Amino acid sequence: MNFDPQNMPKHVAIIMDGNGRWAKQQGKMRVFGHQNGVKAVRAAVSFAAKHGIEVLTLYAFSSENWSRPAAEVSALMSLFMKMLDSEVKKLHKNQIRLKILGDKKGFSESLQKRINEAETLTANNTGLTLNIAANYGSYWDITQAAQQLAIKVKLGEINPDEITPERFQLMLVTGNQPQVDLLIRTSGEQRISNFLLWQIAYAELFFTPVLWPDFNDNTFSEAIVAYQQRERRFGGC
């Protein structure tokens, strides 16, 4: 599928949905779907790096996902740990910078340590920035940004009237990264699920019935083509 390499989105965010349904179709437990979803993650990262996308954000684990069955949460945490161990060196070799977005205090000390090591190792890489949103929710993100600014006001570092959208945006976990241009959600669901609510203000939305483990270059290309066919007005005429 052909798309214009000169008109690529700078920041693509993906809600990786459908692992559980994919596993059910195979007659397997949900964790089997999560395990197979890792292949789709590799494919998406490779595609983004190859085609000059600056930032790729993947919604891996929301702050609401803790309410899932304990066995599934435990399996997800183990998979996350395993991914950090097995994939980070490959990311580093390919100049990919890894950032984990979310409330890291919710993770075990050993997982927090692995996250810190992975982010430190890749911090100075100059290729694709790969954000993994884990224990992330946009309500939390916006709240923590507001708290940071409230502390600055309390300490007299800034005045309330100096709080602008631009300053507020810098306090979000995405910091000075470009706003999301294209949001993709797999599995046919058409909702945002508390994901990057501020950052997707003017994003183009693409919903596909493809379940996440089946997501591949063709699906990613379809989303890029759809993005390039739209006229982005940013609130103008």
Residue 196 counted as domain residue: yes
From 17, 141, 181, 214, the catalytic residue:
17
Helix 30-50 crosses helix 70-93 at what angle (to 10 degrees)?
A: 20
Looking up residue 217, the CATH number of its domain turns out to be 3.40.1180.10
pLDDT of residue 75: 72
Both tokens of 36, joined, read 């197979």
What confidence score (pLDDT) does residue 64 get? Answer: 76
**Sheet arrangement for strand 129-136:** 97-101, 129-136, 55-62, 11-15, 182-185, 204-207
Reading the chain (237 residues) residue by residue, the pLDDT tens digits are 688 988 999 999 999 999 989 999 989 988 888 888 999 999 999 999 999 999 999 998 787 777 777 777 777 777 787 888 889 999 999 999 999 999 999 888 988 999 999 999 999 999 999 999 999 999 999 999 999 999 999 999 999 999 999 999 999 999 999 999 999 999 999 999 999 999 999 999 999 999 999 999 999 999 999 999 998 877 765
- Which residues have CB under 8 Å from 155's CB, separation 6+? none
Token digits for 82?
A: 């395993």
| Total domain count, the chain | 1
Active site residue 17: yes
Looking at beta carbons, which pairs linking 138-146 to residues 24 or more positions away fall under 8 Å? 138/194, 138/195, 138/196, 138/197, 138/198, 139/194, 139/197, 140/63, 140/102, 140/103, 141/101, 141/172, 141/173, 141/196, 141/198, 142/172, 142/197, 142/198, 144/103, 144/171, 144/173, 145/171, 145/172, 146/171
Which residues lie below 8 Å from residue 87, measured CB to CB, with a gap of 6+?
42
2 within a domain of the structure (yes/no): no
Domain with 101 in it = 11-135+180-228
Q: Which of 4, 36, 65, 131 is catalytic?
A: 65
- Give the closest residue to 37 by CA, choosing from 66, 15, 57: 15
Q: Token pair for residue 100?
A: 């984990």
Q: What is the pLDDT of residue 107?
A: 87
Q: What is the pTM for the complete model shown?
A: 0.94
**Number of Cβ within a 10 Å radius of residue 56:** 22
The verdict on residue 165 lying in a domain is: no
Q: Is residue 140 part of a domain?
A: no
Question: What is the spatial distance between Cα 85 and Cα 92, in angstroms, rounded to a whole number?
Answer: 12
- Residue 148 covered by a domain: no
Decide if 131 is inside a domain.
yes
Q: Does residue 141 have an active-site annotation?
A: no
Provide the pLDDT for residue 237.
Answer: 58
Assess if residue 31 is contained within a domain. yes
Asked if residue 123 is part of any domain, the answer here is yes
Q: What is the pLDDT of residue 68?
A: 74
